Amino acid sequence: MNLNHPWLMKLGGLVGSGWVRCWMSTLEFKAWFVDPKVDPAYSPLPRRIYLFWHEYLLLPFYLRGHCEVAMLLSRHRDAAILAEAGRLMGFELIRGSTRRGGTEALCRLLRQGQTKHIAITPDGPRGPRRHLAPGAVYLASRSEMPVVLIGIGYDRPWRIRRAWDQFAVPRPFSRARAILSEEIFVPSQADRAALESYRFYLEVRLNELTLQAEHWAASGARKPGEKIVWRQPCRHRTLRLRQDGILAQPPPEGSNRPSLSKVA
């Protein structure tokens, strides 16, 4: 029996998307925003690049379908079912990675960035875990799209220990938390040294936000300014391709990397 048959992939995607909807619907979701306007459910412009670690894919996968988001997935056959599930959940899927189909995927992402948000797990598809690959930074620079980092945490999740990313499966009826950064701009003319500077900065910042979200979820504490979030489509869809007046924010003069801002 051919386990890679397209109909089996479609069936697997249907079952998978149904499982995500049922399982994740039991969780309590809260988020904290540096700027609430970065939520794709409320603010379709400007188009943004959302970065979060691969192990926490389930949360944005469940909450923000039908929000004009294109998601990058690997060409590996294991991701075929996930791609079909993502399509059913309301995402446009672009297959490729820095290892397989990378150039083609990058070209498609640059085109999609004119009409859709882009979601990337920058440590996928094979790791190292919580290490930000340079492709997302290069894309942000060349597309002139702002980056929004999403730190995610669950309360005492189950972990798939054999997986390279120790993929997190939240316990039913537990807490899920997310902390979203402000928009971060990578200069369009950044050279290789500047791109590495931003890559390092984004990696450190995303790890900081993730640790904060994990602690918040585990503690059950109330965070000033927190918001309850629900699964919902984008409220204000638009066909505009671009919003003017966006200014890049380069690193401080004489610095090898941007300073790390703290989240309250």
| pLDDT (average), residues 237-256 | 40
pLDDT band, very low/low/confident/very high, at 103 (cuts 50, 70, 90): low
- For residue 243, name the pLDDT band (cuts at 50, 70, 90): very low
Residue 194 above 90 pLDDT? yes
Structure confidence at residue 237 (pLDDT): 56
Q: What is the mean pLDDT of residues 218-226?
A: 96
CB 178, CB 50: distance < 8 Å: no
Share of the chain above pLDDT 70, in %: 80
SS (H, E, C) the chain: CCCCCHHHHHHHHHHHHHHHHHHHCCCEEEEEECCHHHCCCCCCCCCCEEECCHHHCHHHHHHCCCCCEEEEECCCCCHHHHHHHHHHHCCEEEECCCCCCHHHHHHHHHHHCCCCEEEECCCCCCCCCCCCCCHHHHHHHHHCCCEEEEEEEECCCEECCCCCCCCEECCCCCEEEEEECCCECCCCCCCHHHHHHHHHHHHHHHHHHHHHHHHHHHHCCCCCCCEECCCCCCCCCCCCCCCCCCCCCCCCCCCCCCCCCCCC
48 has a pLDDT exceeding 60: yes
pLDDT at 259: 47
Query: Sheet of 49-51: strands edge to edge?
Result: 92-95, 69-73, 117-120, 49-51, 147-154, 175-180, 28-33, 227-228
Task: Kindly state the average pLDDT of the residues 135-153.
Answer: 95
Instruction: Supply the mean pLDDT for the chain.
Output: 84
- How high is the pLDDT of residue 104? 66
CA–CA separation, 255 vs 169, rounded Å? 39
CA distance 59 to 246: 29
Mean pLDDT throughout 56-66? 94
Position 92 scores a pLDDT of: 87
The answer for 201, left when phi > 0, alpha when psi is -120 to 50, beta otherwise, is alpha
If you average pLDDT over residues 185-204, what whole number do you get? 96
Residue 186 pLDDT > 50, yes or no?
yes
pTM for this entry: 0.84
Instruction: Look at residue 98 and tell me whether its pLDDT is greater than 60.
Output: no
Q: How far is the C-alpha of 198 from the C-alpha of 193, rounded, in Å? A: 9
208 or 81, higher pLDDT: 208
Quick one: pLDDT band at residue 3, thresholds 50, 70, 90? low
